[in-house]
């Protein structure tokens, strides 16, 4: 199964602290990097954990609050200083476009690459991006400003050809891709060998969901049904539901209830408020509702495995 990971660059909330950077993470598949959110200092965090920003071609910003985007113009600026020539795509809520463009025009004046801004503006879950690795669906969350969650779903891979069959049936190399794609094979003497004899099924399609700042959004339990890894806003701990509601966030327990409803493989909690000294309470509360909980922390990499194998 190919490498598919999420690395936390920052998992604090509104203000950076000495314990937690503000939000940013890297989704990586087969060495291809995707960034989600870009709080202040993200470019330094990238360096700290050994990521090469040159490999980054897509950045997804959940919403235009500083703790999710204040590092973006600095990162772009540094890419320009690095003499980058590859274009970069930035997927941002539509309300962020104007001020982002203004900043880029003012500060990133010598870029030898294009910065393509893709506004996100949807009321329903919407496919906003697709490449060889992923389909990315944005879904609107419930926060003070337009805010989106992102579902990264792997593209269905090819079937696996059974190595022994190649020799046994004399399959020539040019045929292999067609068979991986589901085709049968006709031998030199005219026998048709059905695909299911020649191949095993493709790897299961894995998925990762990033649920950014939001009140609980139980309406997406179906959209995220069976998600292998679910990152969820857990700004507050159990007992602080009123604060969570007031500021349009969730508690660790609410995140866990949602993970349960989604039948998720694993729950990764983050966006911790600086009001708590440690996050032990978050883990304790969440595991009462859902068994498989991890706390985000800077530098932590979570390997996304098919939830049945997790």
Query: By the criterion CB under 8 A, which residues form the site for its own copies?
Result: 14-18, 21, 40-41, 43-44, 47-48, 64-66, 70-71, 73-74, 77-78, 81-82, 99, 102-103, 106-107
Pick between residue 17 and residue 278 the one whose CB is nearest to its own copies: 17
Gap between the Cα atoms of 291 and 210, Å rounded: 19
Pick between residue 78 and residue 89 the one whose CB is nearest to its own copies: 78
Question: What radius of gyration, in Å, describes the C-alpha atoms of the chain?
Answer: 22
Q: What is the DSSP letter of 219?
A: G
Q: What is the DSSP letter of 63?
A: B
What is the nearest approach in angstroms of its own copies to the Cβ of residue 235?
13
Gap between the Cα atoms of 183 and 173, Å rounded: 14
What is the nearest approach in angstroms of its own copies to the Cβ of residue 252?
21
Gap between the Cα atoms of 171 and 188, Å rounded: 9
Task: Answer whether 285's CB lies under 8 Å from 183's CB.
Answer: no
Gap between the Cα atoms of 42 and 114, Å rounded: 21
Pick between residue 70 and residue 169 the one whose CB is nearest to its own copies: 70
Task: Answer whether 79's CB lies under 8 Å from 53's CB.
Answer: yes
> Among this protein's residues, is 67 annotated catalytic?
yes
Pick between residue 77 and residue 199 the one whose CB is nearest to its own copies: 77
Which of the following is catalytic: 37, 67, 213, 233? 67
What is the nearest approach in angstroms of its own copies to the Cβ of residue 86?
18
What is the nearest approach in angstroms of its own copies to the Cβ of residue 274?
10
For residue 99, give both structure tokens.
Answer: 């001020």
Pick between residue 41 and residue 265 the one whose CB is nearest to its own copies: 41
What is the nearest approach in angstroms of its own copies to the Cβ of residue 179?
49
Q: Quick one: 175 exposed, middle or buried, by C-beta within 10 A (0-12, 13-18, 19+)?
A: middle
Neighbours of 112 (CB within 10 A): 10
On the CB side of 59, CA atoms within 13 Å amount to: 28
What is the nearest approach in angstroms of its own copies to the Cβ of residue 71?
7
For residue 1, give both structure tokens.
Answer: 């199964």
Pick between residue 55 and residue 103 the one whose CB is nearest to its own copies: 103
Cα four-point dihedral sign 59, 63, 64, 65: negative
Residues annotated as catalytic (active site), given as ranges: 67
């Amino acid at each position: 199964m190919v490498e598919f990971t999420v690395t936390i660059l920052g998992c604090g909330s509104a203000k950076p602290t000495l314990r937690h950077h503000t939000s940013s993470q890297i989704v990586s598949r087969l060495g291809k990097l995707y960034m989600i959110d870009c709080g202040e200092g993200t470019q330094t965090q990238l360096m700290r954990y050994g990521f090469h920003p040159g490999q980054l071609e897509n950045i997804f910003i959940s919403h235009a609050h500083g703790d999710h985007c204040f590092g973006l113009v600095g990162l772009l600026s540094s890419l320009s200083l690095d003499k980058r020539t590859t274009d970069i795509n930035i997927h941002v809520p539509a309300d962020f476009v104007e001020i982002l463009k203004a900043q880029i025009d003012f500060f990133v004046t010598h870029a030898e690459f294009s910065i393509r801004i893709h506004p996100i503006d949807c009321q329903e879950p919407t496919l906003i991006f697709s490449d060889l690795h992923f389909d990315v669906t944005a879904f609107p969350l419930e926060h003070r400003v337009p805010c989106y969650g992102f579902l990264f779903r792997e593209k269905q891979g090819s079937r696996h050809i059974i190595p022994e069959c190649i020799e046994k049936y004399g399959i020539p190399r040019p045929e292999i891709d067609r068979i991986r794609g589901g085709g049968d094979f006709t031998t030199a003497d005219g026998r048709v060998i059905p695909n299911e004899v020649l191949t095993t099924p493709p790897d299961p399609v894995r998925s990762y969901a990033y649920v950014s700042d939001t009140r609980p959004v139980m309406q997406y339990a179906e959209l995220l049904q069976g998600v292998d890894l679910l990152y969820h806003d857990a700004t507050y701990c159990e007992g602080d539901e009123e604060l969570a509601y007031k500021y349009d966030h969730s508690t660790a327990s609410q995140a866990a209830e949602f993970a349960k409803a989604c039948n998720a493989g694993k729950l990764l909690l983050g966006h911790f408020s600086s009001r708590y000294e440690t996050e032990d309470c978050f883990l304790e509360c969440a595991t009462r509702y859902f068994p498989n909980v991890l706390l985000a922390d800077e530098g932590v990499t979570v390997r996304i495995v098919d939830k049945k194998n997790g």
